[in-house]
A = this chain, B = another copy of it.
């Protein structure tokens, strides 16, 4: 269980952040994460509507290595969240306008509401 690498936020370069955002699936993940991060119900397997498991794993790694998301390991599951505070400290205002921008694109892949608010361990 190697503990998953997260870059120090100070080591993240703007060009790397933008590269990580330059993909529709990753923007779809980001939109979904922005709508669910409060309840931390963002398990990786909840995103299977967006891509196959192996492709998701690839995209999750891109977001994580670019410093955009954090991945918490718990048993065999992984939970994602946006590194909002750190991103705001390093790039003030950026992540909010990025999310707003992504949100406005109707062509981005999306998770239905059943994935965002549903209870699954009730």
Contacts and interface: CB of A to CB of B under 8 A. Distances in A.
Contacts of A94: 97-98, 100-101
Interface stretch (A11-19, A34-42, A78-86): A11-19
A20 to B, nearest CB: 8
Main secondary structure of the interface of A (DSSP, over half): helix
Interface in A15-51: 15-19, 21-24, 27
Interface size class of A (residues with CB under 8 A): 20 to 34
Contacts of A98: 18, 94
Given A91-B97, A100-B92, A105 B13 contact: yes
A15 B19 contact: no
Which among A14, A21, A92, A100 has the highest number of chain B CB atoms within 10 Å?
A: A14
